[in-house]
Structure 1
């Protein structure tokens, strides 16, 4: 009776499970392997966009270097096949980044791998999209609003996007977008959602880590108080004295107080509301003009302080680690 054939080594079993992706160029000169998926591409394309792969190009290959069809195999053992495929499809499509809005998974893949493997052009493009949606200046913030509402234009929107953006930015040290993203999380979701998360459309839940939950809740409390302080957005409500040349002292004083009382009771958080809101107060032209000027200065002061409300460094010290 013959003995059973010897068991194949573990690495041979693993090799038999390897599959080729749809990105497989017959004239490619290098094979990238992520998990058990291989991608045959060109050294020239990788080295053109990535200083990491450019530096590898001239290095001698070790004798034990695995090959496929004569191409060296570079194992990207810590990267997902989805991330690698998303990046490669963009590198081989010259029109890819001309799309107005990209899905968030594409943004995430590109950010992770472009930082890791030094695809500088891709990294700058992705960070620019994230910064466009979560700007570092008040003018930038105002530019992407429609009235007081906002919907992203360069990233495909879905429920939970802002939470996923915060997580992605924090994990990749893109810190300059966090102040605006935290603020968007506060005004775009309820306090309970900060703790429990927001259901996405695919049945999963976008959540914030305890550290981000803490930042949001401390920020909410600090912003609610600060927006009413003298010199800030609604600081003009602190002093109910009549403005010089006010055309209706009693009426304007009453309307200012009514505004203060109504929004304090409601817990309204709106330090960056449109200055045009002053027109709805129905106060005299003199008071309207004075308050408008105070709100313009107050909104800017609140924006200048925004990172500190979330216990982040001031804007001047807040940097991205690219």
Structure 2
């Protein structure tokens, strides 16, 4: 990209040169359009690593194109944070090491987003390897991860898990979503889950109940009830008489379970109906858990015995 004599020089007054990424002997300056950061790197090296930059830089500049310090410069819409981790990952071999070396949330997310956008497959695959290790797709992988005691810190912080959900939807690596949604349920509050940056269909697995008078309030209350039930089951299961599925949530004179659910009448009726269906499904599968015939066959045996 030759600099035309009619190009207008631009000063870097008021702009910040990126620390460690502004090389005086290189011929391309990158400016972040919405920020004040400048990067100066090798045009040829960047083009050799990214086909997107190669195509971008192969275009002849217009005669009125701006220059800075005698160099052509390009403006990017990305953030300075993402550009920084991307360029460092490209240029410094020990900055973004392969799994199983631990790397920070900002590096993984920045490299993943930028390597996808600018088609740097080697970095994209390395970033995905880190993500896949943190969000397993089999129970065996999950058990090994838990047993190792080296879960990534960014799998235990709700906002950072949110970011991976958004990226997974955006960049089509949906295989992490089951584990990501599970972790959100595990570590986040009900209000956080409902205010997350992803679509409502990913937050709530059912639509609004017909006749519901307060959808937002009832959704949060349902989350609370489910988490309360799971917590109760785990807590009580450590006692002499563990709580099994048919007793997790009851409706009896002694029980306050349904009384404590703060939802509208329509949602309460819907929840009771769904709870009963779940109990029935569990009940229907009970004989098979013990290698017994189906209930219908057992009923026949009972009927014959009582004749």
TM-score calculated relative to the size of structure 1: 0.55
* Residues 128 and 192 (structure 1), Cα distance of their counterparts in 2 relative to 1, 3 Å cut: same
**Following the alignment from structure 2 to structure 1, what is the Cα–Cα distance between the partners of residues 91 and 104?**
18
Which one has more relative contact order, counting CA pairs under 8 Å at least 6 apart?
1
Structure 2 residue 16 is the aligned partner of structure 1 residue 19 = yes
1:142 corresponds in structure 2 to: 143
Q: After superposing the two structures, state which structure 1 stretch, 111-120 or 13-22, moved more.
A: 13-22
Q: Is the 8 A contact 1:102 1:155 kept in 2?
A: no
Q: CA deviation at 1:160?
A: 3.5
Task: Specify every segment of 5 or more residues in structure 2 that has no aligned partner in the other structure, as ranges.
Answer: 1-7, 207-218, 227-240, 251-256, 258-287, 292-307
TM-score calculated relative to the size of structure 2: 0.58
2:41 corresponds in structure 1 to: 41
**Following the alignment from structure 1 to structure 2, what is the Cα–Cα distance between the partners of residues 160 and 181?**
11
Specify the structure having the higher radius of gyration (Cα): 2
* Residues 194 and 56 (structure 1), Cα distance of their counterparts in 2 relative to 1, 3 Å cut: closer
1:109 corresponds in structure 2 to: 110
* Residues 158 and 193 (structure 1), Cα distance of their counterparts in 2 relative to 1, 3 Å cut: closer
* Residues 121 and 292 (structure 1), Cα distance of their counterparts in 2 relative to 1, 3 Å cut: farther
Q: CA deviation at 1:192?
A: 4.0
1:67 corresponds in structure 2 to: 67
**Following the alignment from structure 1 to structure 2, what is the Cα–Cα distance between the partners of residues 132 and 143?**
10
1:211 corresponds in structure 2 to: 199
Per-residue CA deviation, residues 151-203 of structure 1 (Å, 9 max, x unaligned), is 633858545432232233334433221122112212333434423xxxxxxxx
1:128 corresponds in structure 2 to: 129
Equivalent pairs counted in the alignment come to 216
**Following the alignment from structure 1 to structure 2, what is the Cα–Cα distance between the partners of residues 184 and 157?**
7
**Following the alignment from structure 2 to structure 1, what is the Cα–Cα distance between the partners of residues 142 and 26?**
44
Question: RMSD of the TM alignment (CA)?
Answer: 3.9
